[in-house]
Chain A
Amino acid sequence: MRRPRPGLVLRLFLRSSRVQRKRAVLTVAAIAWGSLSLLLLLSFGEGLRVSLYRASRGMGLNLAILWPGETGRPWQGLPAGRPVRLRADDVDFLRQRVQGLAGVSGEIHNWRVTMNQGDTTVTGMVIGASPDYGRMRNQIAQSGGRYLDAFDHSRRRRMVFLGNTLAEDLFEDQDPVGRTVRLDGVPYTVCGVMVPKIMMGNYGGLDEDHAVIPISTYKSHFGRDTLSVLVVQPERPEHMPRVLREVHEVLGAKYAFDPEDDRAFGIWDTVETSVVMDRMLLGIQLFLGIIGTLTLIVGGIGVANIMYAVVKERTKEIGVEMALGARSSWVTSPIVLEALVFTLLGGAVGLAMAAVVIGVLAAIPTAGNEALEMLGKPTLSVPIGVGTAVVLGTIGLLAGYFPARRAARVDPAETLRYE
């Protein structure tokens, strides 16, 4: 018997909806401003997230960096305190023994190498690296050049891959590819220059300042193949703990240390740290969202206020409708609907303004400015749109609900009395 009558409610809404234009415009503007704030804050959060995400990929994805240390406990009759020394061929050994590795790379760091090109001399870091290094560390060659290849490694060729900043320091505006650089006096041919990238984390400095040579060449040139660091990359991030355990087991068996010995290697597990970073970002986004929502709630109070005024203005009409047989819900629903329309209208205006602001910001170049580059571009996304719509809808409903409740309490006998 008491079925809902959406058509009737819509009809009543269309008939009754008329508020003072000035007040309505101001209210819609307040909601639009609130929506704009919420959308922009969330978009900045999203931009920050995207750029941090990209930056965290700059160094490479799902890496664990292991620094050989010294044993922390006695093992099989050997005392604690023995250094762990890995060699270049341990990389192949690990590749054969550890399951599920997407990549494994050994690096030898030489911090003070004199590099000459023509009249220019630069002192910097040269890295002797395994073949997987370039792919794992996202070192991509600019067009015209290439990264070190398998042939360079197997033939111990004197080829060098330069970081983009180092290349500029050495060659200024010349094209370095195919030219010669002397590393501690020994000539090397430049095979490529790295594409610039943002790096959030690093060990041993930024890749843009480094020169990379094959680890085999490094050994024959500098006469040393003790690894400075070992980098492993599991196929799936969740396999990291198992991969690290197996690395300890395989190397522990070879070099006679306890696989449980946590001082054999210093470890930076980027999978673990990226989880922490994700949480932190979520925290930042929540914080921004709450600030934006509070701004929007102020607008919602404006809508509630205008609807209270509307109810007061229409008290007599509500009384008449009730006398003619309108149920409470027929009186209240148009009011809730009206508040929702105000709110959503304001939200649409806010969205349009946010789109314009974001478009303008996107047109401003940020390349070269590290702070801006790290902050990223504000970005609208589907979850932001959905989230904002939910917040707007909730605020609209509440802004209509309370005034509507007052309308439902109108006593027709009281309002119809002749004054």
Chain B
Amino acid sequence: MMSLLSKLYPVAVAPAPAVDGEVIRLEGISKVYDTGKVKVEALRDIDLEVDRGDFVAITGPSGSGKSTLMNIIGCLDTPTSGRYVLRGRAVDGLDRDALAEVRNRRIGFVFQNFNLLPQITAYDNVEMPLLFGGVSRRERRERVVGLLERVGLGDRMEHKPTELSGGQMQRVAVARALAMDPDIILADEPTGNLDSTSGGDIMELFRGLWEQGRTVLVITHDPALAVRASRVVVISDGRITSDSG
């Protein structure tokens, strides 16, 4: 797997670069869910900087706010207050379509339950973000084939998700996350639905990506995965309680 991964974007990113700038900067991020009767403070005054090439594990007990943080970093949700700068560009306060474009170009998502579109093939799933990004037909074909071959699914391109195993589905999801060559890979419990072997493969995949210089954020309460990260951020009750970085 590692040797396969070393071929991923061999030119685009130099291996293990030194800190050459921050990718994510959160300043005083708060998120309050107002259900009408009760106000729930999911995040309280979070400050976080992630540099290029970091492999950050965000961990904490359930209900601690790590999913909310992941949604805000992934531009799936907007903070109630605070500032979020993604690679030099403020993204708080952008409208829905602008956020969609940020997600498309800058963020690659990997989910616990894979979230592949069930009725279309692995190939079509990986192609999806490229379609949204307006990539030309020829380049789409090249990238999709390249990515699927390099996650070891070159012979499964025309299979639908239901015809794939959990580990294979998650590898399709990783290929999809990489399709637009994003600034960060954002993974939410990526091994949560996998057996230990497949989970291990996926973790190696992420480590390989990090070794190539990619910025990887993993939300997990799996200590085995957190251990592989270069930096562990612990969240509890909406606040960062510990940060190894």
**Interface positions of A (Cβ within 8 A of B):** 2, 5, 8, 11-12, 15-16, 18, 316-317, 319-330, 411-413, 416-418
Q: How far is the CB of B174 from chain A (nearest CB, A)?
A: 14
Q: Are B67 and A417 in contact (CB under 8 A)?
A: yes
Q: Are A326 and B71 in contact (CB under 8 A)?
A: no
Q: Which of B124, B132, B176 has a CB less than 8 Å from the CB of A15?
A: B124
> Which residues of B69-108 have CB atoms within 8 Å of chain A's CB atoms?
71, 74, 76-77, 96-97, 100-101, 103-105
- Whether A325 contacts B111 in the complex (CB less than 8 A), given A412-B76, A413-B71, comes out as no
> Which residues of B171-193 have CB atoms within 8 Å of chain A's CB atoms?
176, 180, 188-189, 192
Q: Are B111 and A327 in contact (CB under 8 A)?
A: no
Residue B134 CB within 8 A of the other chain: yes
- State A361–B96 Cα separation when bound (angstroms): 56
Q: Are A328 and B128 in contact (CB under 8 A)?
A: no
B133: A residues at CB distance < 8 A: 325
- State A416–B188 Cα separation when bound (angstroms): 10
Residue B131 CB within 8 A of the other chain: yes
Stretch from B114-122, B197-205, B208-216, B236-244 forming part of the interface with A: B114-122
A319: B residues at CB distance < 8 A: 115
B64: A residues at CB distance < 8 A: none
- Whether A324 contacts B128 in the complex (CB less than 8 A), given A2-B97, A418-B189, comes out as yes
B103: A residues at CB distance < 8 A: 322-325
B120 to chain A: closest residue by CB? A15
- State A328–B132 Cα separation when bound (angstroms): 12
A329 to chain B: closest residue by CB? B97
Q: How far is the CB of B173 from chain A (nearest CB, A)?
A: 10
Q: Are A322 and B100 in contact (CB under 8 A)?
A: yes
A328: B residues at CB distance < 8 A: 96-97, 100
B71: A residues at CB distance < 8 A: 413
- State A5–B134 Cα separation when bound (angstroms): 9
- For B, the interface residue count at a CB cutoff of 8 angstroms equals 34
- Whether A325 contacts B101 in the complex (CB less than 8 A), given A330-B132, A417-B67, A418-B188, comes out as yes
A to B contact number (C-beta, < 8 Å): 74
Q: How far is the CB of B224 from chain A (nearest CB, A)?
A: 19
**A-B contact list, 12 entries, CB within 8 Å:** A8-B131, A8-B132, A16-B119, A316-B115, A319-B115, A320-B115, A323-B74, A324-B129, A325-B101, A327-B101, A327-B132, A413-B71
Q: Are B115 and A325 in contact (CB under 8 A)?
A: no
- State A317–B128 Cα separation when bound (angstroms): 12
Q: How far is the CB of B206 from chain A (nearest CB, A)?
A: 18
Closest 10 A/B residue pairs (Cβ): A325-B104, A413-B76, A413-B71, A325-B132, A413-B77, A418-B112, A324-B129, A327-B97, A320-B115, A325-B103
A5: B residues at CB distance < 8 A: 134
A320 to chain B: closest residue by CB? B115
Residue B113 CB within 8 A of the other chain: yes
A18 to chain B: closest residue by CB? B119
- State A328–B101 Cα separation when bound (angstroms): 11
**Interface positions of B (Cβ within 8 A of A):** 67, 71, 74, 76-77, 96-97, 100-101, 103-105, 109, 111-113, 115-120, 124, 128-129, 131-134, 176, 180, 188-189, 192
B105: A residues at CB distance < 8 A: 325
B120: A residues at CB distance < 8 A: 15
- Whether A416 contacts B128 in the complex (CB less than 8 A), given A15-B120, A325-B133, comes out as no
Q: How far is the CB of B53 from chain A (nearest CB, A)?
A: 24
Given contacts A325-B104, A416-B115, 13 further A-B contacts (CB under 8 A): A8-B131, A12-B131, A15-B119, A322-B103, A323-B115, A324-B132, A325-B101, A325-B129, A412-B76, A416-B76, A418-B111, A418-B188, A418-B189
Q: How far is the CB of B68 from chain A (nearest CB, A)?
A: 8
Q: Are B131 and A11 in contact (CB under 8 A)?
A: yes
A12: B residues at CB distance < 8 A: 131
- Whether A320 contacts B117 in the complex (CB less than 8 A), given A11-B131, A330-B132, comes out as yes
> Counting chain B CB atoms within 10 Å of each CB, which of A316, A317, A324, A413 scores highest?
A324
A321 to chain B: closest residue by CB? B128
Q: Which of B74, B111, B117, B180 has a CB less than 8 Å from the CB of A317?
A: B117
- Whether A418 contacts B192 in the complex (CB less than 8 A), given A325-B104, A325-B133, A327-B97, comes out as yes
Q: How far is the CB of A285 from chain B (nearest CB, A)?
A: 45
- State A413–B104 Cα separation when bound (angstroms): 15
Q: How far is the CB of B6 from chain A (nearest CB, A)?
A: 26
- State A418–B235 Cα separation when bound (angstroms): 19
- State A417–B67 Cα separation when bound (angstroms): 8
B193 to chain A: closest residue by CB? A418
A321: B residues at CB distance < 8 A: 117, 128, 132
Q: Are B76 and A324 in contact (CB under 8 A)?
A: no
A323: B residues at CB distance < 8 A: 74, 76, 103, 109, 115
> Counting chain B CB atoms within 10 Å of each CB, which of A16, A327, A328 scores highest?
A327
Q: How far is the CB of A219 from chain B (nearest CB, A)?
A: 90
A418: B residues at CB distance < 8 A: 111-113, 188-189, 192
A411: B residues at CB distance < 8 A: 77
Q: How far is the CB of B33 from chain A (nearest CB, A)?
A: 11
B112 to chain A: closest residue by CB? A418
B117: A residues at CB distance < 8 A: 15, 317, 320-321
Q: How far is the CB of B113 from chain A (nearest CB, A)?
A: 5
- State A411–B74 Cα separation when bound (angstroms): 13
- State A288–B109 Cα separation when bound (angstroms): 56
> Counting chain A CB atoms within 10 Å of each CB, which of B101, B117, B180 scores highest?
B117
Q: How far is the CB of A202 from chain B (nearest CB, A)?
A: 70
Q: Are A416 and B111 in contact (CB under 8 A)?
A: yes
- State A121–B128 Cα separation when bound (angstroms): 93
Q: How far is the CB of A334 from chain B (nearest CB, A)?
A: 13
A329: B residues at CB distance < 8 A: 97
A418 to chain B: closest residue by CB? B112
B189: A residues at CB distance < 8 A: 418
- State A11–B132 Cα separation when bound (angstroms): 11
Q: Are A324 and B134 in contact (CB under 8 A)?
A: no
Q: How far is the CB of B132 from chain A (nearest CB, A)?
A: 4
